[in-house]
Structures are given as C-alpha cells and as structure tokens.
Structure 1
Amino acid sequence: MEPPRGFWPTLWSFLRFLPFFFALLLLGIIKGLLIFPWTCLIMTTGNSALILGLWPVHAVWTYYCLIRTKQLGPVLKLVLSIGVCVALFVWPLAGILGSIMAGIVYGFLAPVMATFDAVGEGKSSQFLHCFVDGTWSTIKGTCTVVRDLKDLLFHSYFSIMDDLHLQSPPAGKPYEIRLLCLPGALFVGVLGLIIDGFMFSLIALCKSPIMLFKGWKRLVQDLIGREGPFLETACVPFAGLAILLWPLAVVGSVIASMLSSIPLGAYGAVVAYQESSVRLGINYVLSSVSIFDEYTNDVLDMPEGTCFPRYQYRKKGPTPSNSFSRPASFQRQETENFPRATSFKNSMQDLNPFKLLDNLFSECRRHGELLVAEGCITREDIEEAKLGKVGQGVLSVGLPAYVILKALLRSAKADVSGILLHDGSEITSDNRPKQKIFDWFFDPLMVIKDQLKAENFSEEEESYLCKLVLLLGDSERVKNLTSQVPPLNERKRAEINAFARRLQGITKSISRYPTAKRRFDGLVKSLSEELEKKMGISMSSNGSSHMRRIRSGIGRMLSQKSMGRTISIQSEDKGEEPANDVISPV
C-alpha cells in the first residue's frame, strides 16, 4: 500500500489508523497472555528434561573425547579441561533460564505478530484470522523448538565430538599452547577488562541522551508518514511499542555496551598470545576504545572520527587509521524527506537461511526419488537412515552433497557470479543471508565452484564425481564404481577425490544445523514411500533387512549400467518360480 503524500492526507491517514492499530494491539496482547503460559510450560519442561537428562552423558563423553583426541597437545587438553568444567556447570542453569525466557517471549510476541499479519494485503477472511492466527501455530512452533534442541543435543553434539575424537591432527602435528606466553596474555586480559570496561561504560553513558532523542525523532516521523518499520503491518505493533519503550531500549543499549567490553577487553589476551608481545596486546586494548567510539558514532549518525588514539597491534597488517567504514545498515540517502523504506518483510524472506535449507531438502527429495528409481539409493540406505544410524551416510551426507554439487556444476556452466538454484534464482554475495554461520558454507562453496569451472571436467568425469560424492561413505560401492569409470590419470583422480571429500565435509557441517535433522527425517520418509511405490517394496517399521513379497507379481529385470547386485525376490503366488531382479546401486 502506497503511503499518502502531503500533510493533510498524512494526518488523516494517521488518525484513521490509530483506532485500528490499538484494537489489533489489544487483541494480540490478549491472545499473547492466554498463550504464553502454555508455551513457557512446554518449552521449559521439554528443554529442561533434555538438558538435565543428557547432562551426565555429555559430561562423560566430552571429557572422554578430549582425553582421547590426537588433535590437541597435553597442555592444551589440561587448559580446556578446566574450561569444559566451567561450561558444564553453567550450561544447565543457562539452558533452563533461557528456555523460560524464550517460552515467555515467543509465546507472547508470536500471537501479537500473527494478529497484525492476518490483516495484511491479499489475506482472505481477515476478521476470522485475527482471532485464530498465532494460537495453535505458536503451540506447534514451541514443540518444534523442543524437537530441534533434541536434535542438536543428540545429533549435532555427537557428530562434532566424533570429529574431535576420530580425526587426525592436521599435518600430523597436534595443536598446543606456549606456556611462556600465558602470564603476559593473562596480564593483558585483566588490563583489558579494567580499561575497556570503564571506557566503554563512559562512552555509552555520554552518548545515551543523543540516542534517546534521535530515536524518538525518527520513530515519530516514521509513524506519521507510515514509513520505515511502520510500512509493514506485521511490524507496526513493535514499532509503536518502540516509541513508548524507547528509554528502556536506550538503557538496554548502555548495558549491552558495558557487557561488550568483557569479550573485547579479554581479546587483548588473545592478541598478546598470538603476537607473543605484551606491548601489542596493550595496543589492542587501547585501540579497541577508539574502534568502539567510532562505531557508536556511525550507529548514531554522528560525525565520523574519534578523539582516542589508534595503535598498531599486529606485527603484520596495514597500519590502522582513524577512518571507520560506516555499516551499510546505517547508511542513508540525504534527501529533503526521509527515504521510503523497502518491504521489511520481503527482505527478511529473501535473506532467510531457512528458506535456503528448505530449498536444499526439496532438491534432495527430487533427486532422491530419481536415484531411488534408478537403484542408486537402496533399501538398506533408507532403513539405515530410518533407524538413525550413522552408517555409510549415503542419505544423510551423500545425497545433500550430491545436490550441492549439481548446483555448483550448473552455476559453473552458466557462468554466473553466485550459486544458481534449480528454480532459476541465484544466491550471490549481495543477497545471501548475512548471518555469520552462512559464511562458513557460502564462501567455501564459491571457491569450489570456481575450481570446478577451471577444471572443465568432461561428462564422464562429472558423472563419476557425482556418483563418488553420493557414495563416498561406502567403500565397497566406491571400489566397484572406480573399476567401471574410464581410465583417469593419477592427478585427475586425486582432484576428483579431493572435491568429493570437501563437499561431503561441508555437507556434514550443514547437517548439524539445528533444523536440518527435522527436515532430513521428512526426506527419509518421502524416499521410503517412493521406494515402496516405484519398486513394490514394503518397508518394515522395525528396520528389518528382509524384503516383503511383491504385491503385483512383478517379475521383470531391473538392470542398470553400473555394478550389479542380484537379489532373489519371491513372487506373491507360491507356485511361481522365483525371479532374479538385478538392482544397481550406482
């Protein structure tokens, strides 16, 4: 909806909007008050049971993996053992308190947001949805949070610890710490906590009045003009509450600034240790005050620069200057009026990493059904995944890596700057999600895409790479696959194996994402149904390895190009001779 232009249309729109806003806000608050006790109860009970029930297992297994790992030296193991002890002591308390707060906040705010979202443009039966939306969906969302935490504590934790326990150290040399550098690093860390704690608090307190009045001015202007956070209906209640509660937001910012001095000041110990210099560590402590002052100037749209000095705190690197790049999120065009804001909701959807995860598993389902029909994914793979076994990882790791490789090959052939998805959309460095965790996956995949483009593999080599990525965890099938591909020289074979291992490593990291396990379970169920439909196989619920009789009396031969594996399938009719179906897993 286009916001009105001009004083009188804007004033009339504002006065007409106020009763509508307060009615929806009141309804949302009532729904939130009715829902949040249940969400708090569900989340607190479920998460607490998981945290406390698994705490002994996590404690024992963490120390076992820490002691047995070959990636860490003895001194580093001793230091980490102390840190792990503190973390294990704090984790139950922090997890339970966080669950209580999350249950209250989510249970109250989700119905309020759903109430305003129900009257958005293009929605039907708006009056009914104002009362219904955000009730049962919030309860289900709370249960989903508990399930994701269960997957995180069961699947992700043990996967990470297995890597620590089983993998060999890089270059055969374990990580270790230098004992002689520890006293100086500890001294710098304590000094950083004192200096940065005092200076950050002083700077935040001095600039808090500026933040208070500038925030009020901008929010009131956006409210009158229906711009900025007031442009989207779903965001109106929170933007309206921000005007009333803005002083609390300022107080919270001051407290957050004080708390931020703890990790930033303590990081001076890391600098002193890395550079083996107490002087450079102190230089960082003093320079961090300058960095914080410049950053707050940019956030508050104040003149750039700072009166605090900036010192060189790295032996190698550019000389620091007093220029500090303004964050893109705070840049603003200087016009006569405040610029119109883009659709906040659409921007969130376009950059939502969960949508990309949904796209990944949608492609896994599409390719998985094709691979099931071809026999590349077998009954044993699906049964193994249904039982939650790690096994060969053909479904849990191989299939997602196969899909990602297909996207990278498609992008390399199309010569695009980003990653081209199946639906034609492209993920680039500009529109990708800005979360730091996404950088761990996106940047390495872009490097692999460029390397694939430079290699310019033939069709046979691409086919071999795709099958190798899918089956890398199954040594028997990989051995048979290798014997059937065209002859490759040692260099080319080593490059293809390196690509496959790197893609599977990245995919294994993606599988630890909190929501990945839940989506993966849905994928396994879909492929199990597809296997029954395509091949007439009824999967047993307890994961037994036998095959039920074929219902329609199928007696034809299913042969594929690659290695064959013969299984005997009895016909449904007792007097009929058994038929041999050759199902190729590749």
Structure 2
Amino acid sequence: MDVPVGFFNTLWRFITFLPFFFLLFLLGLLKGAIVCPIAAGIIAIGDSAIVIGLWPAHCIWTYYCVIKTKRLGWVLKFILVLCLPPPLFLWPIIVIVASILGGIAYGFFAPLIATFEFIGRNTTEKMLHCFIDGIIPTIEGSCTVVRDFTDFCFHSYFSYMDELIEEIPADENPIDIKLLKLPQSLLVMVLAVPVDVPLITAIALWKSPYMLYRGWKRLFEDLVGREGPFLETVCVPFAGLAIILWPLAVVGAFIGAFFSSFFLGLYSGVIVQQEDSLQMGLAFIIAVVSLFDEYTNDMLYLREGSCFPRPKYRRNIGPPSSIERLKSIDNDTVEKNEREGFQSTKLVSQRSRTMKWGIQQYTLVQVWDWLFKSCEVNGRILLRDGLLDVKDIAECIVKGNCKKLGIKLPTWTILQCLLASAKSESPGLLISDDIQLTATNWPRDKMFEWFVGPLLIMKEQIKGMKLESNEEICLRKLVMGYKNEKTEDWNDSGFPSSDTVRRAQLQSIIRRLQGIVAFMSRMPTFRRRFRNLVKVLYLEVIQTGQEADQDGTNVKPKRRVRLFLGRGHKKDKGTTAETSSQDKTDHTEMV
C-alpha cells in the first residue's frame, strides 16, 4: 500500500477506506464473540483450579515461613500472623475474578486486533488471514497464561518463601516494627486514607477528560499525517481501532489511580516507622498528593511540578542514583546541542510528545528477548568448550529442576554484557555490536530501572578494575563451576591475579548478579522461556553425541540424551518444533 501524498489525497484515502474498516471491525467483533468464551473458559477454569488446589498448601506454608524466618522481628511476626487471614482468604477470590475478567478481555480483543494486523503483512492470501488470524493464537495464548500462572504458584511462590526462611548474616538486623511508634503509624494510616483517596481520585477524575482529549488528538494527528506507527504499517484501521478503544484506556487509568490511592495513603505508616517520626508521616500524607499530581503531569506532558504543597518527609535524601545521573547528562547534552544549533528548536518535552519519539525507545519485551537470545548463544559456546554440564541440562528437561542452570547461564550472560560495556565506554549497556541501552532509549518502566541501576554501578566497578583478557576468560569457568561465597573458593581455580581484594570485588559482583537473576527467575515467563532455551541446547548435545558415536565412543550418553529429549519434548511439542527449526539458522553472536 502506497502512502498518499497531500492533504486531499490523504483525506480521500481515509474516506474510501472507512467502509472497509467498518467491515473489518464487524468481522473482528464476530471473531471475538466466538473466541471469547473459549479463551475466558480456559483461563478462568485453569487458574481457578490451580489457586483452589494449592490454597491449603499456600496458607500453611506461608504461616510456617513467617513464624520460622529470622529476617523479621517478633513484633512484626505477631502483626503479620494476625493480619494474614484476610489476604489469604481473598487471594483465591481475587484470582478467580481477575481470571474471568482478564480472560474475557483477552479472548475478545486479541482476535479483534489480529483482524487488522494482517493488512500490514506481506502475504498473498489476505482474505484467508482476515478470517482465521487471531483464533488459534488466542486459544494458545490462553493456555500459556495458565501455564505461566502455574509456574508462579508452584515455583515462584515457594522460591520466595525459601528465601524468606534462609539464614541471615550475623551483621544483618531483622526487620521489625517499633512498638512505641505503632500507635502513631496506625493513627497516620487512619488519617491518610480519607485524605489521600479522595484527593488522588479527584485529580485522576479531573485529568481524565484531558487524557481523553490528548490521546484522541494525538491519534488523529498520526492518522492524518501518517506518522508514528501508522507510517510503519501504512494501515488506517489501526488508527480507527485505537481511537475507538482509547476511552477504555482512560477508564482503566482512572480505576488504577483509585485503587493505588489506598496503598499510597497506607504507606504513610511505613514512613513513620522508617523515619521514626510522626511529623514525617503526616508530611507524607500531603506530599504524596503532590507526587501523584506531578507524575500525571509528566505522563500527559503538562507543566512541570505540581501546584500542591510538598513538605519534606525524609530526613536524609540520598545522592542521585546512577539512572538519574545518566538522565541528567543526556538532558544536558540535548540542551547543549540545541543551543549550538545541532538540533531543532523544539523542546525535549515537545519532541517526546510525538508517537515517533516513543517508538524509538526499546520495550521490556525486546530486552527480555535479547537476554534469552544471548543466553542461547552463550550456552552453545559454553557447551562447545565443555563449561556447561550436560547433567544440569538433563535435570532441567527431565525433572524440571532448572535452578542451578537457570542462575549460572544468565549470570554469565549479563556479566559478559557488563564486561563489553565497560570496554566500549558506553554510557549505558552494550547489548550487541550495534545496539546499546542508554537513558534515552531504554524502557520507561520502574521495574526495569530497579534492575538496570545496580547493573550500571557494577559496570563502573568493572571499568575501574581494568580486567585483563586472561582474567575474563577465567571468569567463565568461575561463574559456571565454582562457588563465589569466599575468596578461598578460587584458590584452585587458576585465576591469574593473587590479589585478594580484587578477587573479593569480583566475587561480590558475581553474587549480586546471581541475586538479580534469582529474582528474575521467579517471573512466570522466565521458566517457560528458559526451558525452551534448554531444549535448543539439547539439540547441540545430540549433535555432539552423534559425532562422538561415529568415532566409536560415547555411545551410552547419546542414548541417554535421546531418552531425555523424548521425555522432555512430549510436554511441549509445538515449542520443540519451533526451537528445532531455529537451531538450524545461524545466530549472530550477541554479548
């Protein structure tokens, strides 16, 4: 489809396309009505069965871990034991209701959106795809949702609880509540809810019409000017569908603000405990309204700051994080270039309002894909060099125990990324030879910043250590085959440097990376995607076994691997076919 040039050509193309759009919209509604009951039934029945079946075990194990843990003080334990029954009782109800509503929304809108997506594809049978696209993938996606929720309930939950009851270091004090400040915390929380909930809800309600107007204005501008995503797909229906569904996004944002206001108000009690001051808790009740107002202003590209007062609610404000420093450096660079005439006279906030500016930023899904692709490439290399144990691969496929391999392989992958980033003088993280994440293009997500902040600090530490090439090579063996708890663990590893301080610094970095990976491994999608990655590595083991058998050796390992592969692949036949086809292609080596 050619992009029309000129206002009248664009307007005529828009008018002539309207009947086609409405026909596609009606077809999408019909497909959504057909698929919605199936997808909603799969998600609702599957999630409900899991949460009801595991509810007794979750209740008993939660109480056991809370009572046994040494990370919490006795006062906090007593309060948690008294407060646990309501959330434990509401947990299955919330899951069932959320599964029903989420299943209905996913089963209805996924086929509707897929009906329009086929226009932007280069396919010959567009009429056929118009009718069938979005039906089977939506049903398969519903099964994937149930599988990820099962992984969360079976593995992620128990992993969190196991970490809770682990022994704490001798120099670490347990988290506890100060009894003398408990009445003050409760008083502040009682005062915060009737103050913060109405004010935050009123701000969200006041700005909802403006959010609706700004969203529609932006979508119509992109539609008429063929900018942003509409320039890439050259597809008017996406604009029409987004315009129709935009009010739902506004309603969802308002509902989210309303429920968030309760948690923001109750957090004032935490401020009283942390700052040991009733005055600071009362100040947070007022300050949180200003913080929410400023956040919404930034989201809607309104004026900076807030008209509400913001009293100081922290005694000591720490230095700016590495992320904030990078952002300030990037903003200073942009402003400097603008003053020198290298860029247009538009402000940064004005440029960021366009959809085209937003589309240049990477998403969490892209970063997630890069991580697993890098793990696959590094896994092949480690397997070829004999640093990856075949027993760990077999245990992950057969028994489902990927804890050991799921920590070591991503840890080495991220460490290699940090090593390359430190060498390249990159302001951010070097993902591959031509892609790097900086403060200007990485995902605007708070959770991602929680991950990337420590990584940037570790990158600077590695940069200051100036590792030699033989030390980097030895690190592969140390990460994959050695413990990193004490400096003595590396005595027989052949590490080139005998400096104990240098070893301790590297061990500290590796331990922090392992902690980050351990937290990432509890995400539901991690386990499913990592098992698919391990199946790809199994193909490498098969090829190695076949070559060894041609020489007349290693016959038993080959048969054993085949047995494991058959048993593991029966569980996920579709994914295996996909990974096996991907295994035949050449992958670009990523950092």
TM score, norm. by length of structure 1: 0.80
The answer on whether the counterparts of 2:479 and 2:510 sit within 8 Å (CA) in structure 1 is yes
**Quick check: 1:446 aligned with 2:456?**
yes
Match of 1:358 in 2: 369
Q: Tell me the CA shift for residue 525 of structure 1.
A: 2.1
Partners of 1:568 and 1:292 in 2: CA distance? 60
Instruction: Spell out, residue by residue over 1:518-548, the C-alpha distance to the aligned partner (whole angstroms, 9 max, x if none).
Output: 12212222223322321349xxxxxxxxxxx
Partners of 1:137 and 1:158 in 2: CA distance? 31
**Quick check: 1:384 aligned with 2:398?**
no
Count of aligned positions: 530
Partners of 1:216 and 1:379 in 2: CA distance? 55
Counterpart mapping for 1:193-204 below 5 A: 193-204=193-204
Per the alignment, in what secondary structure is the counterpart of residue 171 of structure 1?
coil
Flag the 1:227–1:23 CA change in 2: closer, same or farther, 3 A: farther
Q: Tell me the CA shift for residue 35 of structure 1.
A: 0.8
Instruction: Spell out, residue by residue over 1:312-371, the C-alpha distance to the aligned partner (whole angstroms, 9 max, x if none).
Output: 3222349xxxxxx9xx9xx88769xx9863287x55xx6232332332222222222332
Flag the 1:474–1:147 CA change in 2: closer, same or farther, 3 A: farther
Match of 1:399 in 2: 409
Match of 2:355 in 1: 341
Partners of 1:530 and 1:448 in 2: CA distance? 32
Q: Tell me the CA shift for residue 38 of structure 1.
A: 0.7
**Quick check: 1:554 aligned with 2:552?**
yes
Counterpart mapping for 1:288-437 below 5 A: 288-296=288-296, 308-317=308-317, 341-342=355-356, 347=360, 351-388=362-399, 390=401, 393-422=403-432, 424-437=434-447
Partners of 1:474 and 1:302 in 2: CA distance? 49
List runs of 5+ in structure 2 lacking aligned partners: 319-326, 332-346, 560-591
Match of 1:283 in 2: 283
After TM superposition, the structure 1 stretch with the greater mean CA deviation from structure 2, 69-78 or 381-390, is 381-390
Flag the 1:455–1:334 CA change in 2: closer, same or farther, 3 A: closer
Per the alignment, in what secondary structure is the counterpart of residue 376 of structure 1?
coil
The answer on whether the counterparts of 1:465 and 1:500 sit within 8 Å (CA) in structure 2 is no
Flag the 1:499–1:200 CA change in 2: closer, same or farther, 3 A: closer
Q: Tell me the CA shift for residue 442 of structure 1.
A: 1.5
Partners of 1:303 and 1:495 in 2: CA distance? 45
Q: Tell me the CA shift for residue 410 of structure 1.
A: 1.7
Partners of 2:120 and 2:461 in 1: CA distance? 46
Counterpart mapping for 1:21-420 below 5 A: 21-120=21-120, 122-169=122-169, 171-206=171-206, 220=220, 222-227=222-227, 239-240=239-240, 243=243, 254-296=254-296, 308-317=308-317, 341-342=355-356, 347=360, 351-388=362-399, 390=401, 393-420=403-430
Per the alignment, in what secondary structure is the counterpart of residue 118 of structure 1?
helix
Per the alignment, in what secondary structure is the counterpart of residue 482 of structure 1?
coil
Partners of 1:30 and 1:525 in 2: CA distance? 38
Match of 1:8 in 2: 8
The answer on whether the counterparts of 2:483 and 2:489 sit within 8 Å (CA) in structure 1 is no
Partners of 1:481 and 1:124 in 2: CA distance? 63
The answer on whether the counterparts of 1:382 and 1:395 sit within 8 Å (CA) in structure 2 is yes
Q: Tell me the CA shift for residue 248 of structure 1.
A: 6.3
Instruction: Spell out, residue by residue over 1:181-207, the C-alpha distance to the aligned partner (whole angstroms, 9 max, x if none).
Output: 111111111111112233334445555
The answer on whether the counterparts of 1:116 and 1:234 sit within 8 Å (CA) in structure 2 is no
Which is helix-richer, 1 or 2?
Answer: 2
Per the alignment, in what secondary structure is the counterpart of residue 50 of structure 1?
helix
**Quick check: 1:531 aligned with 2:517?**
no
Q: Name the amino acid aligned to 1:463.
A: I
Q: Name the amino acid aligned to 1:421.
A: I
Instruction: Spell out, residue by residue over 1:58-116, the C-alpha distance to the aligned partner (whole angstroms, 9 max, x if none).
Output: 22222222222121111111222234332211111111111111111111111111111
Partners of 1:286 and 1:568 in 2: CA distance? 67
The answer on whether the counterparts of 1:51 and 1:95 sit within 8 Å (CA) in structure 2 is yes
The answer on whether the counterparts of 2:301 and 2:349 sit within 8 Å (CA) in structure 1 is no
The answer on whether the counterparts of 2:542 and 2:558 sit within 8 Å (CA) in structure 1 is no
Which of 497, 500, 511 lines up with 1:490 in the alignment?
500
List runs of 5+ in structure 1 lacking aligned partners: 319-324, 538-549, 557-566, 571-586
Which of 500, 506, 510 lines up with 2:520 in the alignment?
510
Per the alignment, in what secondary structure is the counterpart of residue 444 of structure 1?
helix
Partners of 1:291 and 1:483 in 2: CA distance? 51
Flag the 1:289–1:449 CA change in 2: closer, same or farther, 3 A: closer
Q: Tell me the CA shift for residue 435 of structure 1.
A: 2.3
Q: Tell me the CA shift for residue 465 of structure 1.
A: 2.1
Match of 1:581 in 2: none
After TM superposition, the structure 1 stretch with the greater mean CA deviation from structure 2, 404-413 or 297-306, is 297-306
Per the alignment, in what secondary structure is the counterpart of residue 103 of structure 1?
helix
Q: Name the amino acid aligned to 2:383.
A: V
Partners of 1:314 and 1:235 in 2: CA distance? 50
Q: Larger C-alpha radius of gyration, 1 or 2?
A: 1
Q: Name the amino acid aligned to 1:135.
A: I
Which of 467, 470, 474 lines up with 1:464 in the alignment?
474
Partners of 1:360 and 1:231 in 2: CA distance? 29
The answer on whether the counterparts of 1:71 and 1:170 sit within 8 Å (CA) in structure 2 is no
The answer on whether the counterparts of 2:177 and 2:273 sit within 8 Å (CA) in structure 1 is no
After TM superposition, the structure 1 stretch with the greater mean CA deviation from structure 2, 276-285 or 17-26, is 276-285
Flag the 1:208–1:42 CA change in 2: closer, same or farther, 3 A: closer
After TM superposition, the structure 1 stretch with the greater mean CA deviation from structure 2, 36-45 or 221-230, is 221-230
Partners of 2:395 and 2:426 in 1: CA distance? 38
Partners of 2:10 and 2:216 in 1: CA distance? 19
The answer on whether the counterparts of 1:398 and 1:473 sit within 8 Å (CA) in structure 2 is no
Q: Tell me the CA shift for residue 246 of structure 1.
A: 6.2
Flag the 1:108–1:231 CA change in 2: closer, same or farther, 3 A: farther
Q: Tell me the CA shift for residue 422 of structure 1.
A: 3.9
The answer on whether the counterparts of 1:280 and 1:314 sit within 8 Å (CA) in structure 2 is yes
Instruction: Spell out, residue by residue over 1:30-50, the C-alpha distance to the aligned partner (whole angstroms, 9 max, x if none).
Output: 111111111111111111111
Q: Tell me the CA shift for residue 178 of structure 1.
A: 0.5
The answer on whether the counterparts of 2:484 and 2:510 sit within 8 Å (CA) in structure 1 is no
Instruction: Spell out, residue by residue over 1:253-301, the C-alpha distance to the aligned partner (whole angstroms, 9 max, x if none).
Output: 5554443332222222222232222222222222333444455555566
Q: Tell me the CA shift for residue 249 of structure 1.
A: 5.8
Partners of 1:569 and 1:524 in 2: CA distance? 17
The answer on whether the counterparts of 2:379 and 2:388 sit within 8 Å (CA) in structure 1 is yes
